[in-house]
Amino acid sequence: FKVIGNADGLFESEMLQLFRQHFPQIGEAAISTKPSKNQKYLALSITVHATSQEQLDNIYQVLSRHPLVLFVL
């Protein structure tokens, strides 16, 4: 997944909390961050090992509706 939001500090912690709810086994190596050129936005790339399509669909829906998320890929 790639999730993009404002680089305000709250975004990163909220997203990590959401991912860990859906994928408790996720490790730090599966997460990378990249700020935008002007430091206004933050992109989180998170690699997960899903056990079903339903699991992927659920996290995608949660992320898509979250007020701090601007884009989800």
Q: What is the pTM of this model?
A: 0.89
- pLDDT at 65 > cutoff 90: yes
Q: What local confidence, expressed as pLDDT, does residue 35 receive?
A: 96
- Helix (H) or strand (E) holding 64, with range, is helix 53-65
Dist. CA 22–CA 72, nearest whole Å: 16
Q: How confident is the model at residue 40 (pLDDT cuts 50, 70, 90)?
A: very high
Q: What is the mean pLDDT of the chain?
A: 95
